A = this chain, B = another copy of it.
Amino acid sequence: MGKKQGDQTYLFESPPVLIGARAVVGPREAAGPLGQYFDLPIDDPLFGEKTAEKAERRFLIEACNATLEGVGIKNEDVDFFLAGDLLNQIISASFTAREIRLPFLGLYGACSTVAEASALAGFLIDGGFANNVLVGVSSHYQTAERQFRYPIELNLKHKLSSQYTVTGAGAFLYAKKGAGPQLEAATVGKVVDYQITDPNDMGAAMAPAAADTILQHLEDTGRDPDYYDLILTGDLGEVGMQLNAALLEQYGVTLGSRYQDCGAMIYGGNPAHGAGGSGCACAAVTVAGYVLKEMEKGKLNRVLVVATGALHSPLTWQQGESIPGIAHAIVLERQGYS
């Protein structure tokens, strides 16, 4: 297996190309420091729909359709639609798949889903099974709050370590050929559980998984962190980001100033959003928005995206279980960069 390097990493022989992507976000995300990078800011978080769930779905449908339109590709030329979200039975993804009528593989990796889906897109294209794979993920503050915590109408106080679910959706079109950054590698994570039990401290629950996957990726590839211009975790937020960096220091790995976290970036440290953003859309819109546009400008050349997910449910928490985490990593490189 020449494609597998080390224990959990895959270097693509004919790296798929990320030929198009769109970040659709709500007003809070558009007002943050990354606002300029997002393709489609939507003023109304309900997107004209009657419920938050229908709104989340609308964000995802919009992101998928805009991505396909942007690259000028027809639905019938897309081989697979890989999608997921945080809601029970991934209804945002499934109902979006109903609208766009593509062969559909539903995924659940919590907030790591964008990297899980991208890795699978890489396997399908590099494996010779697909020319074009559409990836889409979404999250919504109102749907996530009422499902995982409490209805927002209760106006409960959040802890400082609480994170704020990003309202939005990101879609990505990976192709066998075309112009755009290459999907150079993927590292598929294992579930890691440090026995964190506080659902208001998800960053701490996910940080050990991020550290585990980053260590594995570096070991598998023989790379140092400075191989990358940017190492970007998904949604650890400010608390989890510090924990991840500290955990890696214990293993002699210093991420330094090249390390950023989508959750910590997206609201610019505004304390109204606790420790930062979270949700499947957090990493997705940051990559589709910020990362891709900076790569286009030549400001970023090699980026390691490590999307992190907390794999609990309200019920596992009620039954006294801890919160297991997972992180999957993908490498995006500018074409022609050496």
Contacts and interface: CB of A to CB of B under 8 A. Distances in A.
Interface string A76-102: 100110001011111100110110011
Interface stretch (A15-23, A161-169, A189-197): A189-197
Contact of A103 (B126, B129, B188): B188
A105 interface: yes
Nearest to A54: B319
Given A79-B4, A110-B89, A129-B3, A319 B51 contact: yes
Nearest to A126: B127
Interface residues of A, number: 60
Given A90-B108, A193-B98, A319-B53, A80 B127 contact: no
Number of copies: 2
Interface stretch (A250-258, A275-283, A290-298, A308-316): A308-316
A191 B128 contact: no
Contacts of A26: none
Contacts of A91: 311-313, 315-316
Nearest to A110: B89
A267 to B, nearest CB: 25
Contacts of A120: 105, 120
B2 A98 contact: no
Contacts of A189: 103-104
A118 to B, nearest CB: 12
Contacts of A88: 88-89, 313-315
A324 interface: yes
A10 interface: yes
A324 to B, nearest CB: 5
Contact of A106 (B109, B190, B314, B316): B109
A124 to B, nearest CB: 6
B89 A312 contact: yes
Contacts of A127: 3, 123-124, 126-129
Q: Which of A87, A102, A106 has the most CB of B within 10 A?
A: A106
A154 to B, nearest CB: 18
Given A89-B313, A106-B116, A191 B94 contact: yes
A1 interface: yes
A131 interface: yes
A108 B89 contact: yes
A89 B321 CA distance: 14
Nearest to A192: B98
A218 interface: no
A223 to B, nearest CB: 19
A89 B323 CA distance: 12
A127 to B, nearest CB: 2
Contacts of A60: none
Nearest to A76: B7
A171 interface: no
Contacts of A10: 129
10 contacts: A2-B128, A3-B128, A51-B319, A84-B108, A88-B88, A89-B110, A89-B311, A101-B191, A105-B119, A127-B129
